[in-house]
Structure 1
């Protein structure tokens, strides 16, 4: 098991939810947490615990972002006019690695980060290798010609477990995706419920 796969499974177990909806998640077999006392950790969470869990779940979903990265995105969401929770989701979905994952160019968000890092992706014709690069409406994201036959790409396109959301226009025959618009929370196809309002409450109090 690779380090990334191991980490991904640990996040699912820790949260007690299959946050990516993957069929091989250990939560599909055991809903309780890891460790010797995992089955006894079902006590009621405090408000702080609920808020912390919501933050960990959202951070984990986008490839287990560091606290520094996530707090920086939150701070920007606060500065933008409108609902902070909705702004937070919009900013997270505009990350290049998130778009590559949503477009089904790769099977997981962890793979998306590595895929971008290794220079397999172009934005508007220029190679971009920064996973946190923020796409804009109308940007065209494409897989480089030399990378279109990689096993990870072919596997992802054939996945039946998730669909491409309607804020992306994707052509898998050309391996291109156009970022049509910034989504709201209701547009994002999360396999489990995300609660950005609790994340906002967490940072407001801490």
Structure 2
């Protein structure tokens, strides 16, 4: 399991954007970067810097997956047919923790990962505690009996700040079906993601 190594909102301030689309994000109040030099005027960023930022933003959005895991996903995406950037997004969106988050079973990607790792999630009726598991099209993801009563889950389902995307189809309040692998345009990112820059970063 990938462990969060830094405060989740630090990424927002470093990027200068509300990466997770949360109303509590400090970027809503302070648009400059963290630390004592955060308010200094920024110089022009190099191509490498732009590509690195794009990678950090995408990796951070998916719950700060480890660099090893993220690069392995990229290598797999680049070997598949079609556009490597689109393939990368498709593979990341197939992660079980991300589908749990998209289904509004958890308020954040970290809470979704915790739900999975604590054994509260079923895939096609079978308990699964591996957050990075890749789901297939038409897999049914559901909540375990204990999870249905959890305050965290109820809070997530009442959130007005995000909707369940078209490729995750709900069946009641405790079950969804992953109907297709989405394209970049279909994924409801709160900010602009640039997987093409991530491809350029790893292709150097």
* TM-score when normalising by structure 2: 0.96
Q: CA deviation at 1:146?
A: 1.7
Residue 179 of structure 2 aligns with which residue?
A: 180
1:82-97 → structure 2 map (5 Å cutoff): 82-97=82-97
Mapped pair 1:34 → 2:65? no
CA drift of 1:132 comes to: 0.2
Cα pair distance change 1:5/1:29, threshold 3 Å: farther
Q: Verify: 1:194 aligned to 2:190, yes or no.
A: no
Tell whether the 8 Å contact from 1:167 to 1:180 is kept in structure 2 after alignment: yes
What secondary structure does 2:142 align onto? Answer: strand
Map Cα deviations across residues 80-130 of structure 1 (whole Å, 9 max, x no partner).
Answer: 100000000000000000000000000000111111000000000000000
Which runs of 5 or more residues in structure 2 are unaligned?
none
Higher share of residues assigned helix: 1
| Aligned partners of 1:95 and 1:133 also within 8 Å | yes
Unmatched runs of 5 consecutive residues or more in structure 1: none
2:18 aligned with 1:18: yes
SS in structure 2 of the partner of residue 140 of structure 1: strand
Q: Which residue of 2 aligns with 1:46?
A: 46
Secondary structure at the aligned position of 1:19 is classed as: coil
Q: Which residue of 1 aligns with 2:147?
A: 147
Q: Identify the residue that residue 60 of structure 2 maps to in structure 1.
A: 60
SS of equivalent residue, structure 1 residue 142: strand
Q: Equivalences for 1:122-161 in 2 at 5 Å?
A: 122-161=122-161
Give the 5 Å matches for 1:96-107.
96-107=96-107
8 Å Cα contact 2:4-2:63 kept in structure 1: no
Secondary structure of 2:27 counterpart: helix
Aligned residue number for residue 109 of structure 1: 109
Q: CA deviation at 1:46?
A: 0.7
Distance (Å, rounded) in 2 between the aligned partners of 1:137 and 1:182: 7
Distance in 2 between residues matched to 1:42 and 1:31, nearest whole Å: 13
Given that 2:4 and 2:64 are in contact with CA atoms closer than 8 Å, whether structure 1 keeps it comes out as no
Question: Closer, same or farther in 2 for the Cα pair 1:7/1:172, shift >3 Å?
Answer: farther
Distance 1:23 1:195, change over 3 A: same
- Could you say what secondary structure the match of 1:202 adopts? helix
Count of residues in Structure 1 that have an aligned counterpart in Structure 2? 202
Q: Which runs of 4+ in 1 moved over 3 A?
A: 3-6
